[in-house]
Amino acid sequence: MTLLDMQKLVLGKSVQGKEIAGYSFGDENCFNKTLIVGGIHGVEPQSKEVCEMYVSDIEDKPFPKDCYLLLIPCINPDGIEANTRGNANGVDLNRNFPSSGWQSTPLAGNNAYYPGIKPASEPETQIIVSLLKNYNFKKIFAIHTNHTIQFPNPPMVNYDGEQSRELAEKLSVATGLMAHHDIGYPTPGSLGVWVGHELKKISVTVELDDTKTSKELYKKHGLMFEVGVIG
Ligand SMILES: [Zn+2]
């Protein structure tokens, strides 16, 4: 085994103590470093499953040269197990990131979007915050499905910040989903807003069609992973 082979890392633990795993591919010292995160919302299991399908697809294959990927298929294992949007504290992790616009009250008073007691209060959020602070990722790519709680949005490649547009357009071609900078409702404290507008890194959020199975989604859009990694 060389250093460039896949490595499984334990990055931390959820509120209920479940291990949160990351899969590392390629050369950690290269410039083109990508972080991909799935399973942020527990009611969107396909976002975790398509990541796992990609891992088993590429684990024995050569990884693209001069690229590095850290893939976290499931950052919210407690939510996935309980089939809840939030983590075991009922916090919507995608409203818990430390963006300057973080708000303590959930959007439209809906507790499904509960942002937590303070920014980055949750252990799952802290894993991503610490990875972004300590490793120089060039781009971050979050995978969701367009599961509707209160605000419906079509499947799309959503991007934050003009620096993210080029990658979003490539992903749009790869997936057949439209690229758009506006998801249609405010998302204070989301990973995309924090990374794209404040850290000024390339930040893309793919919203897959929630009505499809993970197998169908991977078959139709699986190319997005390689396109996202190569950039
Ligand atoms: Zn989501």
Ligand 1 centre from 137 Cα, in Å?
Answer: 22
Number of structural domains found in the chain: 1
Ligand 1 centre from 84 Cα, in Å?
Answer: 11
The answer to whether position 50 is within a domain reads no
Host domain of residue 81:
7-43+57-230
Ligand 1 centre from 145 Cα, in Å?
Answer: 6
Ligand 1 centre from 210 Cα, in Å?
Answer: 10
pLDDT one digit per residue (tens) for the chain, 231 residues:
445 689 999 999 999 999 999 999 999 999 999 999 999 999 999 999 999 999 999 988 889 999 999 999 999 999 999 999 999 999 999 999 999 889 998 888 888 899 999 999 999 999 999 999 999 999 999 999 998 888 888 999 999 999 999 999 999 999 999 999 988 888 899 999 999 999 999 999 999 999 999 999 999 999 999 999 999
Q: Give one DSSP letter per residue of 117-169, joined into a string.
A: SSTT-SHHHHHHHHHHHHS--SEEEEEEE---SSS---SEEEEESGGGHHHHH
The answer to whether position 12 is within a domain reads yes
Q: Please give the helix or strand (H or E) that residue 50 lies within, else none.
A: helix 45-58
| Residue 1 confidence (pLDDT) | 40
Q: What is the CATH number of the domain that holds 119?
A: 3.40.630.10
The answer to whether position 48 is within a domain reads no
Ligand 1 centre from 219 Cα, in Å?
Answer: 20
Ligand 1 centre from 25 Cα, in Å?
Answer: 25
The answer to whether position 2 is within a domain reads no
Ligand 1 centre from 29 Cα, in Å?
Answer: 31
Ligand 1 centre from 144 Cα, in Å?
Answer: 4
Retrieve residue 100's tokens. 């300057």
Ligand 1 centre from 95 Cα, in Å?
Answer: 11
The answer to whether position 194 is within a domain reads yes
From CA 171, how far away is CA 177, in angstroms rounded?
Answer: 8
